[in-house]
Amino acid sequence: SSMKLSLVVSCVLLVVTSISTLDPVLNNEWLSWKSFHGKQYMEEEEIYKRMIWEENMRFIQKHNQEHSMGKHTFTVDINQFGDLTTEEYNQLLTAFHGQIPDDCKEFRPQNPTVLPQTVDWRIEGLVTPVKNQGTCRSCWAFSATGALEGQMFKKKGKLVSLSEQNLIDCDKTQKGCRGGYPFRAFQYVKKHGLNSEKNYRYMAKDQDCKGIEKKVATCKDCGFIQKSERHLAAAVASIGPISICVDGSHKSFQFYKKGIYYEKNCLKPINHAMLVVGYASRANKNYWIVKNSYGTTWGDEGYIYMAKDKRNNCAIANNATYPVV
pLDDT in tens, 28-83: 999 999 999 999 999 989 999 999 999 999 999 999 999 999 999 999 999 999 99
Give domain status of residue 4, yes or no. no
CATH, residue 197: 3.90.70.10
Q: With 80 as the cut, is the pLDDT of residue 8 above it?
A: no
For residue 242, the model assigns a pLDDT of 98
Write down the catalytic residue from 292, 313, 318, 319: 292
Please give the pLDDT value at position 100. Answer: 81
pLDDT confidence of 21, banded at 50, 70, 90?
confident
Q: What is the pLDDT of residues 79-92, one digit of tens each?
A: 999 999 999 999 99
Which position among 56, 104, 136, 139 bears the catalytic label?
139
Query: Among residues 37, 72, 107, which one ends one of the domains?
Result: 72
Q: What is the mean pLDDT of residues 18-28?
A: 84
- Per-residue pLDDT, averaged over 111-135, amounts to 93
43 with 113, same domain?
no
Residues 46 and 130 in one domain: no
Q: Does 79 qualify as catalytic in the annotation?
A: no
The per-residue pLDDT for 320 is 95
Give the β-pairing of 256-261 and 74-76.
antiparallel
One domain for residues 197 and 281: yes
Q: Looking at the 3D structure of the chain, how many domains does it have?
A: 2
pLDDT per residue as tens digits for the range 150-179: 999 999 999 999 999 999 999 999 999 999
Identify the band that residue 15 occupies on the pLDDT scale cut at 50, 70 and 90: low
Pick the range with the lowest mean pLDDT from 72-86, 109-123, 311-325: 109-123
Q: Tell me: do 114 and 211 sit in the same domain.
A: yes
The catalytic position among 79, 104, 272, 314 is: 272
Known catalytic residue at 272: yes
Q: Are 63 and 109 part of one and the same domain?
A: no
Residue 317 is assigned to a structural domain of this protein: yes
Containing structural domain, residue 47: 24-72
> What's the confidence (pLDDT) of residue 17?
54
